[in-house]
């Protein structure tokens, strides 16, 4: 119980319940309760709105509280006949009412009429409202279900109100509810009812085809004409209805064409205004509905018993039909994780209502819109016959449930619809009750020999699935099913369809149950080295106490012994135990996991009369992970030695060590050439994006002195064999077709050129500045690659851009792009004079260079170089240096400090631009960095940034390619510039490779085709511990680049972290809840270290800190959780995000957390330390510690791990948090979290192992 607020207002309280039984497994549920000032609400509902005199009017009464629970209440129901009347005062001061008032309304065009003279006396309203003539009053009581029925018989036509009133014990305000009905005949003209405009009153809101729908039209005064129509997506019928009085009853024939819904529409002109009302009528397609029934012959079965499923299909008239039925019988527990994705077929095929498409307008509207005058205020409500002032029809776009609509729900009358809807929406829904099994016999258990045991091992979640069961002419189909060993509730589902598009669905439930049940409670998997508790839960479902003998057999595990509920060993064998009636007991054993493979566990329980047993198979995982170590760098002298520490504790035969040596990293870009080219297609941009790579491939081959055939089947270290189908799904293209592809691209670009010399996105349309500059640059590159290009085409494009350069003076990115293209052509064509427009554009960009980003500064720097502005070009290079992002230690980690020291041979990385998540074309990191490298190689080839920039571009490739074709083409162009300027492949080089003092190879590299070499090291030469890899230059002066990596299955205890380009840190925090005065119940986070303990049932937050040294795509992280922990979420794909940390927050958090979750290579601690008697919680990370950027993470919950998938991981430090729950007592190994790039396996990391103790919860 709890004390509710006394603030005098309605409240809603939400409760979250976490319930666990003897199994220690937790089930979470959430509910809410409303606490209101009014103790209950009363709703009156009549199945019809229109009646005739002497008809019996039936009113259903329902009394419920704010939580939709029935209430027994007593109140008085009063029936009144309401008559509308008005009293006006004319300009002479006389009262006008009754027939005189009606005659004036009928004769005057506008009522009240305007004054006879300006400023003269006006008509005044004295009274307007209903007179209530009481018909009867009766006392009514609701029953235990909150329901009651009330009826009366109206003697005469009129407008009747039925109102409930009862006393409110909480305050003086009475509890009220009401409904209204209209009683009329075909000849009725007056009812004493007034709404203020035009109103359409249908008898109910649902009719079937073939029925007549009574409809009453209500107008504000006598002698009005209503244009009445039946509409939906078409105009089905219309008529002009003369309403001689204030109401008129008409009938509408409902036909098949009106399914699934229609709109009754009325338009009327009165008082120089146009009034309109629309009423929607649902006409469910019952001819397409089947009445499907699926039933099991019993409500309860025992495991392995046979049951009978009977499926029956009938049409809406109750006649049997032959149908094809998809039948399934599934464990109900599946739906607790994932609801059925297949919807009701009736709802799927017929669940949408038609839009109201016809539109109605009038000259009155058009006149007022044209005059711009303010329209008169509407009389009454907009929906219910208000004046209409805007063109267009009244349309609804709602989705409805056709099946529910078929239940003949009556339309709420205008006076109660709004209030009733709001109250109904505020009530909680009552969940459907589960099928209760039949009570088990409660006979005393005689003292006799133990019964035989049947071992349950079949735990399928799907017992039966057949998509094409056919019912016979009698509409029936009978199916035999054998139940599995699971003791659960089963849901049978039948979805039926006929050849004439009739659909139906039904479900039924049954339970499998035993009088005595034994349930095995174990982790989902085991890890060698764990020691834990296995439990048998004994359930006595009979009405008498039962003496039960439990037992356990565990093959593949070592049973240490029986333990009590506190985890203390108990000597001797387990004897019989008492299980109370309708109760349960738990028996615990302690087991040790000593060997990998499979485990088979059987628990059994026997009593004198009943017995049960179950058996399950489990996977026992090795203690260890596949580990990857890497070291790379550049040999700058004549001799270099690096080390790889390979631990002794690893699986025999699992170690692989390889070393790659190359005189140039940039040569890896040659791997991209066969994947870049393709025949042109589509618009100008797409054509150029195919043509430009072909040109760059041709230029690269020419500059390197290569022929297409010579590299067709070569690999240059830019991609991993075996991953090409993933990284390059379109496959290689034949480089021998390069010339044909280039020619096809040229012809298409020539054809797309406009008369003004420019290009647009398509052949027709206006010329586009960006696109024209793109094409001009590409065609100029083609000319530089010795491809024959029509000079007239180039000249016309040059003139177009030259004359339009000044138009982009306020668009600095665009002007820089255009000026770069013009300057490239200017240099290639060797023009002597720089046009004034180009000088003006350059001056404009130079003046505003502080507003340029790295991409456009590089473009401007290149333009300055081509124009011969050397000083400005050098200044722009210095500006680029100021904005570069440098990582001097790419082989070390911030999140795993002390893991390894940076090698002197490690190569720094540098880049500009964003991380692939950008909104301007000039912010792309790859293109910006590639153009910056081109500017550096063109203007300052000896710049210190050249090497780290080239290294960053190499590390940011995706296989042989970069982000897209255009990125790849521009990077290849920059790499080609680098190779040509650096001369790394000229002169040749000779070297020796030694591993642990043994000579692996001696190589001579004379040309680009022999540049990269990969060497697999004999496993006999690999040492436990430190392995020395030595590279010795024998001849030549060019640099040598190397990369060594080792793969092995590590059995370290504990496993230490490692990473290559990405790094991971995992931390656990115990969530300790406590109540607070202002914030309610809050959770503090207490860090858990290696060997620390938690209690079963406690929640643990997992914090993964990811460090990305560059921008990566398509990564997967697998967090290998301890066997004793369970995910709190039960469904994969729930919302999860990675949040980026600010650099200042990274330094502060890592410094403060220090050794949290650290491992030191020693056995796990089991004793308490004095410093942890009072653990200090860590503060919550404030929002100010984050940059504001986040990335969506797809989460999959597996038995052994939590798998996290990210499509992009920008450079930086990111955090991911999710919650686990301690469940099984024991000592567990949390093997490291692992991560890798899906298509570049050498980008990978693993965190550190941590060992946790889980204590049993005290009962």
Taking a C-beta distance cutoff of 8 angstroms, is the pair 129, 84 a contact? Answer: yes
Rounded mean pLDDT of the chain?
84
Instruction: For residues 92-108, give the mean pLDDT.
Output: 86
Residue 75 has pLDDT above 70, yes or no: yes
How far apart, in whole angstroms, are the C-alpha atoms of residue 849 and residue 833? 24
Instruction: For residues 233-253, give the mean pLDDT.
Output: 95
Dump pLDDT digits (tens) for 1021-1030: 999 999 999 9
Instruction: For residues 52-79, give the mean pLDDT.
Output: 96
Residue 424 has pLDDT above 60, yes or no: no
Residue 186 has pLDDT above 90, yes or no: yes
Question: Contacts from 430-435 at CB under 8 Å and sequence distance 24+?
Answer: 430/68, 430/69, 434/489, 434/509, 435/299, 435/489, 435/509, 435/510, 435/511
Comparing 1238 with 176, the larger pLDDT belongs to 176
Any idea what the Cα angle at residue 960 is, between residues 954 and 966, rounded to 5°? 85
The predicted pLDDT at position 433 comes to: 33
Comparing 428 with 850, the larger pLDDT belongs to 850
For every residue of 763-823, DSSP letters joined together read SSS---HHHHHHHHHHHHHHHHTT----HHHHHHHHHHHHHHGGGGTT-HHHHHHHHHHHH
The predicted pLDDT at position 1023 comes to: 94
How far apart, in whole angstroms, are the C-alpha atoms of residue 1077 and residue 218? 59
The predicted pLDDT at position 309 comes to: 96
For every residue of 944-973, DSSP letters joined together read TTHHHHHHHHHHT-BTTB-SSHHHHHHHHH
The predicted pLDDT at position 900 comes to: 58
Cis peptide before 1097 (omega within 30 of 0): no
Dump pLDDT digits (tens) for 1156-1182: 444 444 444 444 444 444 567 787 888
Residue 176 has pLDDT above 50, yes or no: yes
Nearest to 560 by CA among 598, 528, 533: 533
Residue found under tokens 């490779």: 993
Of the chain, the percentage scoring pLDDT greater than 70 comes to 83
How far apart, in whole angstroms, are the C-alpha atoms of residue 358 and residue 373? 26
Question: Which tokens go with 755?
Answer: 């008369």
Of the chain, the percentage scoring pLDDT greater than 90 comes to 55
Highest-scoring range by mean pLDDT, 118-122, 309-313, 608-612: 309-313
Dump pLDDT digits (tens) for 123-170: 999 999 999 999 999 999 999 999 999 999 999 999 999 999 998 877
The predicted pLDDT at position 927 comes to: 87
Phi, psi of 1175, rounded to the nearest 5 degrees:
-65, 140
Instruction: For residues 161-184, give the mean pLDDT.
Output: 91
Does this model's pTM top 0.75? My answer is yes
How far apart, in whole angstroms, are the C-alpha atoms of residue 1066 and residue 213? 69
Residue 387 has pLDDT above 90, yes or no: no
- Full set of structural domains in the chain with CATH: 37-93+119-193 (2.60.40.1930), 195-283+359-392 (2.60.40.1930), 287-353+457-512 (2.20.130.20), 516-621 (2.60.40.10), 625-664+987-1047 (2.60.120.260), 668-883+915-982 (1.50.10.20), 1054-1255 (2.60.40.690)
The band of 678, judged by pLDDT with boundaries at 50, 70 and 90, is: low
The predicted pLDDT at position 382 comes to: 36
How far apart, in whole angstroms, are the C-alpha atoms of residue 607 and residue 578? 10
Taking a C-beta distance cutoff of 8 angstroms, is the pair 1048, 626 a contact? Answer: yes
Taking a C-beta distance cutoff of 8 angstroms, is the pair 799, 767 a contact? Answer: no
Dump pLDDT digits (tens) for 255-314: 999 999 999 999 999 888 899 999 999 999 999 999 999 999 999 999 999 999 999 999
Comparing 776 with 670, the larger pLDDT belongs to 776
Instruction: For residues 72-82, give the mean pLDDT.
Output: 96
The predicted pLDDT at position 44 comes to: 97
Residue 638 has pLDDT above 90, yes or no: no
Which of 370-379, 596-605, 695-704 comes out lowest in average pLDDT?
Answer: 370-379
The band of 450, judged by pLDDT with boundaries at 50, 70 and 90, is: low
Label the pairing between strands 1186-1192 and 1137-1141. antiparallel
Residue 406 has pLDDT above 50, yes or no: no
How far apart, in whole angstroms, are the C-alpha atoms of residue 840 and residue 6? 76
How far apart, in whole angstroms, are the C-alpha atoms of residue 554 and residue 781? 73
Dump pLDDT digits (tens) for 1197-1220: 999 999 999 988 988 999 999 999
Residue 823 CA: distances (Å) to CA of 830, 832, 863, 972: 10, 12, 5, 21
How far apart, in whole angstroms, are the C-alpha atoms of residue 863 and residue 878? 16
The predicted pLDDT at position 140 comes to: 96
């Amino acid at each position: 119980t709890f004390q509710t607020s006394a603030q005098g207002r309605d409240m809603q309280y939400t409760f979250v319940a976490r319930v666990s039984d003897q199994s220690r497994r937790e089930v979470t549920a959430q509910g809410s309760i409303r606490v209101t000032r009014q103790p209950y609400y009363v709703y009156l509902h009549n199945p019809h709105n229109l009646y005739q005199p002497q008809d019996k009017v039936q009113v259903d009464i329902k009394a419920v509280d704010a939580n939709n629970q029935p209430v027994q209440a007593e109140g008085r129901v009063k029936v009144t006949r309401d008559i509308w009347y008005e009293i006006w005062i004319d300009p002479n001061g006389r009262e006008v009412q009754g027939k005189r008032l009606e005659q004036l309304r009928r004769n005057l065009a506008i009522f009240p009429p305007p004054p006879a003279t300006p400023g003269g006396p006006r008509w005044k309203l004295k009274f307007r409202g209903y007179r209530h003539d009481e018909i009867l009053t009766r006392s009514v009581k609701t029953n235990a279900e909150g329901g009651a029925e009330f009826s009366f018989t109206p003697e005469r036509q009129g407008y009747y109100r039925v109102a409930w009133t009862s006393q409110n014990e909480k305050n003086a305000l009475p509890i009220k509810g009401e409904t209204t009905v209209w009683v009329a005949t075909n000849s009725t003209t007056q009812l004493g009812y007034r709404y203020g405009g035009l109103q359409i009153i249908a008898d109910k809101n649902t009719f079937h085809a073939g029925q007549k729908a009574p409809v009453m039209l209500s107008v504000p005064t006598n002698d009005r004409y209503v244009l009445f129509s039946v509409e939906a997506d078409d105009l089905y019928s219309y008529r002009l209805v003369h309403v001689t009085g204030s109401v008129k009853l008409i009938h509408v024939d409902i036909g098949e064409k009106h399914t699934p819904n229609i709109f009754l529409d009325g338009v009327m002109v009165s008082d120089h205004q146009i009034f309109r009302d629309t009423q929607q009528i649902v006409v469910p397609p019952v001819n397409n509905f089947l009445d499907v029934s699926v039933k099991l012959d019993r409500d309860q079965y025992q495991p392995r018993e046979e049951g009978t499923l009977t499926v029956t299909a009938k049409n809406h008239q109750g006649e049997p039909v032959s149908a094809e039925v998809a039948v399934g019988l599934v464990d109900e527990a599946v739906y607790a994780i994932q609801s059925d994705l297949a919807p009701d077929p009736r709802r799927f095929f017929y669940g949408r209502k038609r839009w109201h498409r016809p539109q109605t307008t009038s000259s009155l509207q058009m006149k007022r819109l044209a005059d711009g005058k303010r329209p008169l205020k509407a009389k009454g409500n907009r929906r219910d016959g208000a004046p209409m002032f805007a063109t267009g029809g009244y349309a609804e776009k709602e989705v409805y449930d056709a099946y529910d609509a078929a239940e003949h729900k009556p339309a709420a009358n205008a006076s109660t619809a709004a209030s009733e809807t709001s109250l109904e929406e505020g009530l909680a829904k009552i969940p459907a009750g589960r099928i209760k099994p039949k009570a088990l016999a409660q006979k005393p258990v005689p003292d006799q020999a133990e019964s035989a045991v049947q071992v349950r091992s079949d735990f399928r979640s799907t017992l039966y699935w057949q998509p094409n069961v056919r019912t016979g002419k009698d509409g029936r189909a009978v199916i035999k099913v054998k139940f599995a060993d699971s003791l659960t509730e089963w849901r049978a589902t039948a979805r039926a369809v006929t050849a004439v598009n009739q659909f139906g669905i039904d479900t039924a439930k049954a339970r499998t149950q035993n009088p005595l049940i034994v349930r095995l409670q174990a982790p989902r998997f085991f890890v060698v080295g764990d020691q834990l508790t296995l439990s048998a839960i004994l359930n006595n479902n009979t009405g008498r106490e039962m003496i039960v003998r439990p037992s356990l057999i565990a093959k593949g595990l070592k049973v240490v012994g029986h333990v009590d509920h506190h985890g203390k060993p108990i000597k001797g064998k387990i004897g019989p135990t008492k299980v109370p009636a309708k109760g349960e007991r738990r028996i615990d054993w302690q087991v040790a996991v000593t060997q990998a493979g499979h485990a088979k566990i059987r628990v059994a329980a026997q009593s004198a009369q009943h017995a049960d047993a179950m058996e399950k198979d489990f996977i026992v995982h090795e203690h260890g992970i596949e580990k990857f170590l890497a070291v790379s760098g550049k040999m700058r002298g004549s001799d270099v030695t690096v080390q790889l520490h390979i631990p002794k504790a690893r699986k025999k035969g699992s170690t692989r060590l390889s070393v790659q040596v190359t005189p140039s990293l940039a040569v890896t870009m040659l791997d991209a050439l066969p994947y870049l080219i393709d025949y042109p297609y589509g618009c100008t941009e797409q054509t150029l994006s195919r043509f430009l790579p072909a040109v760059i491939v041709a230029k690269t081959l020419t500059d390197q002195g290569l022929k297409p055939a010579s590299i067709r089947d070569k690999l240059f270290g830019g991609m991993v064999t075996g991953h090409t189908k993933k990284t390059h799904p379109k496959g290689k293209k034949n480089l021998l077709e390069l010339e044909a592809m280039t020619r096809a691209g040229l012809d298409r670009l020539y054809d797309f050129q406009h008369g003004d010399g420019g290009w647009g996105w398509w052949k027709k349309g206006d010329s586009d500045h960006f696109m024209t500059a793109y094409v001009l640059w590409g065609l100029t590159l083609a000319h530089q690659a010795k491809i024959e290009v029509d000079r007239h085409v180039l000249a016309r494009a040059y003139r177009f851009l030259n004359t339009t350069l000044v138009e982009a003076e306020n668009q600095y990115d665009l002007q820089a792009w255009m000026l770069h293209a013009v300057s490239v052509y200017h240099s290639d064509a060797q023009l002597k004079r720089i046009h004034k427009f180009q000088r003006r554009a350059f001056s404009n960009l130079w003046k505003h260079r502080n507003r340029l980003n790295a991409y456009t500064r590089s473009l401007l720097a290149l333009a300055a170089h081509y124009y011969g502005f050397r000083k400005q070009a050098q200044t722009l290079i210095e500006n680029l240096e100021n904005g570069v992002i440098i990582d001097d230690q790419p082989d070390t980690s911030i999140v795993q400090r002390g893991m390894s020291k940076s090698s002197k041979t490690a190569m720094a990385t540098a880049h500009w631009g964003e991380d692939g998540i950008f909104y301007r074309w000039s912010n792309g990191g790859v293109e910006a960095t590639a153009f910056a490298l081109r500017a550096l190689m063109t203007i300052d080839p000896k710049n210190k940034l050249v090497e780290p920039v080239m290294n960053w571009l190499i590390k940011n490739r995706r296989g042989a390619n970069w982000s897209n074709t255009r990125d790849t083409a521009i990077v290849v162009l920059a790499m080609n510039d680098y190779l040509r300027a650096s001369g790394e492949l000229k002169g040749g080089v000779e070297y020796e490779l030694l591993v642990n003092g043994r000579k692996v190879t001696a190589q001579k590299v004379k040309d680009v085709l022999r540049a990269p070499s990969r060497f697999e090291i004999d496993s006999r030469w690999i040492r436990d511990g430190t392995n020395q890899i030595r590279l010795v230059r024998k001849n030549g002066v060019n640099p040598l680049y190397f990369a060594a990596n080792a793969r092995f299955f590590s059995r370290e205890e504990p496993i230490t972290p490692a990473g290559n380009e990405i790094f991971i840190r995992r931390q656990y925090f115990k969530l300790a809840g406590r109540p607070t005065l202002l914030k309610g119940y809050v959770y503090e986070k207490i860090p858990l270290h290696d060997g620390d303990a938690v209690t079963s049932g406690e929640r643990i937050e997992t914090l993964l800190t990811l460090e990305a040294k560059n921008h990566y795509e398509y990564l997967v992280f697998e967090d290998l959780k301890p066997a004793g922990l369970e995910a709190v979420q039960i469904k994969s794909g729930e919302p999860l995000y990675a949040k980026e940390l600010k650099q200042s927050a990274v330094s502060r958090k890592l410094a403060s957390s220090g050794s949290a979750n650290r491992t030191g290579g020693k056995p796990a601690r089991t004793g308490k330390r004095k410093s942890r008697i009072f653990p200090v919680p860590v503060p919550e990370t404030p929002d100010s510690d984050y940059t504001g950027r986040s990335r969506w993470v797809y989460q999959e919950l597996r038995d052994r791990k939590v798998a996290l998938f990210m499509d992009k991981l920008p450079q930086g430090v990111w955090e991911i948090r999710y919650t686990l729950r301690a469940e099984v007592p024991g000592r567990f190994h949390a093997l490291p979290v692992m991560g890798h790039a899906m298509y570049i396996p050498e980008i990978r990391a693993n965190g550190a192992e941590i060992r946790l103790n889980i204590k049993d919860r005290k009962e």
